[in-house]
Structure 1
Amino acid sequence: MDINSKGRILIVEDNENMRETLRIFFSKLGYDVRVADGGDKTFEILADKPSWHLVITDLVMPEMDGITVLKEAKKIDETIQVIVITAFGRTEDAVRAMKLGAYHYLQKPFNMDELEQTALNAIEKCLLLRENISFRKTLTVKYGFESIVAKSQKMMEVIDTCRRVKDLPSSILITGESGTGKELIARALHYSSHRSAMPFGVVDCGAIPENLMESELFGHVRGSFTGAISSHEGILRASDGGTVFFDEIGELPLGLQVKILRVLQERVVKPVGGTQEYPVDLRVIAATSRDIEEEVKKDNFRRELYYRLNVIRIIIPPLRERKEDIAPLLEHFLKRFNTAFGKNILRFSESAISRLESYPFPGNVRELSNLVERMVALEVGEEISTETVEKSFTMGKVFEGAEKISEENLSRVEEVGIDTFLGFTEEKILRKFLDLYGWDRKKVAEKLGITERSLRYRLSKYGLISPSDGDKENPV
C-alpha cells in the first residue's frame, strides 16, 4: 500500500468501461486502487495483504455474484467494508446484502459525488474498527491472564478456573484479603472473554457516597432531583453488552442491594426519576475482602443477593500463602519502577530476596508494590541490597504510624492549633534522639535524614543546649 494513499480500494466489476471509470476516479482522489473482473483471480486479489479497506462490487456478474464477493471479503477480514452496486434495483437484494454486512447498496446509474462520500465514510468506519480491535488487543495484553505475574500452584489453579469460566454469563464472586489483586482478576476475566470489545464498568462501592450511589448506578432523568440539569445514563446502562465489576460489594447499602438484586433477576434498569425500563445484557463480577458469609448471618448483606452473586466463587490466596510468587513479582515491579524513575537497577541481592520472602506481607501484593517503589527510589547502586530493604521497611513503619493518629491527639490539635502541635512534636522527637545518641549532633542529623546545619537551626529554635554546653556557659 502506498503510504501516501487515503486507503485501499478493490473494484470488482465485469463491465470493462465501468471498471476503468471507477479505477481512474478513485485513483485521482488519492486512493490505492486495484480491479478484478469477477473471474477466477478475484478471490486471490481479495486475499491480498495488507487487507483492503473497501470493496466496491457489482451485484450481477457472469462468473460470481456480488453476494459471494461480500461473503468472501467478510471471511477474510470482517472490518473490510463492502459497497454493492447494481443496475437491478430489487429491494430483496438490498436487504440481503445489508444483512450480510454490506456497508451500502447503490443502484446504477449513481451519482459519483454520492459514491465518493459513501466510500470515504466506509473507509473511515473500517479504520475505526481496526483501531478499536488494536486497542482491545492492547488491553488484552495489559489485562489478560498472561499479564498476571504468578507461578505458585495456588495461583495457577485460580487462573485455570478463570479460563474455564471467562465466557460464561454466570455471576462471579471474587473473595480475598485487601491487596491480593481481585480487580486484576476481574479485568482478566473480562478482557479474555468474548465480551472484551464491550465496556468494563467499575463500581467502587466503598468510595461513592451513599446519596449519589443510586444515580451513579442506574442513571437519572433530567429534573429528577435538585442539580439534575441533564439526564445521566449510569454505569449499568453504560456497561451494556460488557461486564460490570462491583468492587467491595460488601459496602453496598442494604437499600441498593435490593435494587441490584432486581437487575440480576429481571435484567432491566430504571433510572432515578424515570418510568421507562431499559433492558441490559451484563455479566456481573463482584469482589469483597469481607467475610461475606458472616455479613449475611449478621443481616448486613442480603441472602438473596449473596446467592445470586455466588454462582461461581474465586478465592484469591494471600501472598504469605504463595511465597513462590514473591520473586517474580519483585522482578516485575523492579522493571516498572526502573522505567518510572529512569533508573537501571539490575536485580535484588539474594539476601534481599530471602529477607522479603520471609516477610508475611499483611498488605499482600499492594504492599509489595509500594515497598519495591520505595526501594527503587532509595537505592543508589545496581543491586537492591538488604540494607535498602530494611531502610524501606523502617520508612514504611514510620508512614504507617503517621496514619494512626489517636483521638486524643486530634483533640489537642483542635485546642492549640496545628503549628503549635507540630512544633511540640518536633521538639519531643529531637530530645529523644539527642538523648539516645549522647548529643552527637552528626549522628543525630544522619539518623533524622537532615543536614547538621538544619539540626543546628532546630536546636536554636527550641533552645535545646547539650548538658556539656550548659556547664560551660554556667560554671559552678
Structure 2
Amino acid sequence: MDNSILLSIYRYVIEKGDMGICVVDTDGKLLIYNKKMRELEGVNEDEFEERRALEIIDFETEKSDIYKVLNSETPVLNVKKTYWNKKNQEVTYISNIYPLHYEGVLVGAVEFARDITQLEYMMYQPLRRYGAPLTFDIISAVSAVMKDVIEKAKIVALSRMPVVLIGESGTGIDMIAEGIHHDLSVKNDMFIALICRRDEDTILKHFEKYIVEKEKITFFAERIEYLSMAAQEKIVELFNNHPNHHHMLIASVGKDPIDLIQAQKLSKKLYRLFSGITIYVPPLRERKEDIMPFIDDYFKRHRDSFGSSIQGLSEEVQEIFLGYDWPGNLKELEVLLDEISSLLTNETVVDSHMLPAHFRWKIQYSYENGTEEKADLFIIKNPHDIRPLDVYMKEVEEYYISKALDFHQGNISKTAAALGIRRQSLQYRVKNYKLNKKSENID
C-alpha cells in the first residue's frame, strides 16, 4: 500500500479514536493533539489552532509529566488526573507517557490518556442518578426515622441554614442534599457536588472559582473529613473572605463530627461554618422497612425503561434480603439489583437461584438467637442451580480472596503470604476480579 494512503489511515485512526493522544518533540513542539485530547482539555478548534501556532507546551504546568519523561527518558505510567478543564467540566483520566526514540536517539514523547470520568463518577456516587432532579418525592423511604430526616431537611431548605449530614456511605445522603437544593425557599442557580476523596488541590480551585460568583450556589462537600486540615482551613478562609449569603452550604461526614474533631480529622472552624444544623441519616440495617419500597421502586423503573415483566422478589429471597445487614447500604442493594436485572428475560419474580454467587457466599451463615446456622443457598435444589464448573470455581476464588483481604485489612503482601501465592499474582487477581477493596498499591 502506498505510504501516503497509510499516512492518511494513521491520521484518521488517531483523530477518531477514543484515547487522548498528545505527541511533542524534544523542544516541546506540538506534533499531535487529537480530538479526544482536545475534548479532555476542553479546548475548542479555534483555541487549538492558536495553541498549535505557538507550538510550545508549557512544561511546568500542563504537561509536567511529559517534561519528566523527556528529561529521564523513562515512561511515566498509570497516572490518574482529576481536574476541571477549560470548559469547567470535571474530568478524570489515566495517563501513560512514553519517550519516543528513533535509531537510539530521543526524538520526543507521547501521552495516551484514557477517559474514566464516568467510571469515577459511578464509583463515588452513593446512589445512581435517575435522570431527573433528585427531589424529596423520589425518595421511597417509609420508615419513621427517614420521614424524620426528610422533615428536618425540609426545615433546612426553608430556613437556608447550613447543614452537616452524618451517615455511612451509600445511605442516600446525596439524595437528601439534592432534595434540600431543589426545595429551597429561594431557588439557587447551581448545585455543585465536591467529592472530597479526590484531589484536594482541584477541590480548592473549584471552591475558589465559584465562591466569588454572584449566582446563588448550593455547595455540597461530600465526606469533607477526607480533606487535609490545611485544606479545610483554606475553605474556611475562602468563605470568610468572600461572604455571600445567597450560597447554601451542605457537607457530609461519615462519623460523629465531635469524634472527628477530637481525632483531628475535622476542623472545628469548618464544622462551625457548615453546622447550622446536623442531620443523622441512619444505615439501612436500622431501617429495614425501607428495603422493599426501594426494591419496588427499582423494578417499576426497570419495567418503565426496559419493558421487563419483573414484579418483585420471591418469598425466600425477600426473607434473605430482610435478614441481611447491607453493610454497603442502599448502594450495595442497588448494585445487586443491577446485577440481577442484567440477566432478566421474561421472569416475573427473583428466585434464589438468580442471586449472584458472591452474594450467596456473603449470606451463607445467618446469625439467629446467637447461634451460627448454615444457610442452604449453595445446596443444589434444581437444575437452575447448576452452573459451569469453571464459572463456579472462579466465583469461589473471588469470594475467598475477598475474605482474605478483609482479614488482612487489604494488605496485599500479608494476604499473598497467607494464600501462599506471589504478590504479583494476587495483584493480578484483584484487578481482574475488580474487587472493591482498599488494597495497598492497587490503583
- 4+ runs deviating over 6 angstroms: 409-417, 419-422
Q: 1:238 to 1:385 in 2, by over 3 A?
A: farther
Higher helix share: 1
Q: 1:296 to 1:421 in 2, by over 3 A?
A: closer
Match of 2:218 in 1: 243
Are residue 350 (structure 1) and residue 315 (structure 2) matched?
yes
Unaligned runs of 5+ in 1: 1-138, 219-233, 269-278, 427-476
1:245-301 CA-partner distances (Å, limit 9, x unpaired): 000011122112122223444544xxxxxxxxxx57311000011332112112222
Larger Cα Rg: Structure 1 or Structure 2?
1
Q: CA deviation at 1:309?
A: 1.8
Q: For the Cα contact (< 8 Å) 1:361–1:368, is it kept in 2?
A: yes
Match of 2:100 in 1: none
Q: 1:362 aligns with which of 302, 321, 327?
A: 327
Alignment of 1:257-268 (within 5 A): 257-268=232-243
Distance (whole Å) between structure 2 residues aligned to residue 266 and residue 420 of structure 1: 47
Q: For the Cα contact (< 8 Å) 1:237–1:280, is it kept in 2?
A: no
Q: 1:402 to 1:360 in 2, by over 3 A?
A: same
Are residue 384 (structure 1) and residue 389 (structure 2) matched?
no
- Normalised to the residue count of structure 2, the TM-score between the two structures is 0.52
Q: For the Cα contact (< 8 Å) 1:200–1:239, is it kept in 2?
A: no
Match of 1:53 in 2: none
Match of 1:180 in 2: 171
Distance (whole Å) between structure 2 residues aligned to residue 158 and residue 416 of structure 1: 46
Q: 1:246 to 1:401 in 2, by over 3 A?
A: farther
Q: CA deviation at 1:421?
A: 6.8
Amino acid at match of 1:212: T
Q: CA deviation at 1:315?
A: 0.6
Amino acid at match of 1:170: M
Are residue 156 (structure 1) and residue 150 (structure 2) matched?
no
Distance (whole Å) between structure 2 residues aligned to residue 339 and residue 392 of structure 1: 28
Q: 1:237 to 1:280 in 2, by over 3 A?
A: farther
1:336-355 CA-partner distances (Å, limit 9, x unpaired): 34456553212212222122
Name the SS of the counterpart of 1:345 in structure 2.
Answer: coil
Amino acid at match of 1:307: R
Distance (whole Å) between structure 2 residues aligned to residue 297 and residue 305 of structure 1: 14
Distance (whole Å) between structure 1 residues aligned to residue 160 and residue 262 of structure 2: 28
1:43-87 CA-partner distances (Å, limit 9, x unpaired): xxxxxxxxxxxxxxxxxxxxxxxxxxxxxxxxxxxxxxxxxxxxx
Match of 1:308 in 2: 273
Q: CA deviation at 1:388?
A: 2.0
Are residue 290 (structure 1) and residue 220 (structure 2) matched?
no
Distance (whole Å) between structure 1 residues aligned to residue 189 and residue 351 of structure 2: 45
Q: CA deviation at 1:365?
A: 0.5
Match of 1:193 in 2: 184
Distance (whole Å) between structure 1 residues aligned to residue 234 and residue 400 of structure 2: 40
Q: 1:256 aligns with which of 228, 231, 245?
A: 231
Match of 1:440 in 2: none
The aligned length equals: 261
Match of 1:113 in 2: none
Identity of aligned residues (%): 23
Alignment of 1:19-58 (within 5 A): none
- Normalised to the residue count of structure 1, the TM-score between the two structures is 0.48
Amino acid at match of 1:211: D
Higher strand share: 2
Unaligned runs of 5+ in 2: 1-129, 364-394, 434-443
Q: 1:414 to 1:342 in 2, by over 3 A?
A: farther
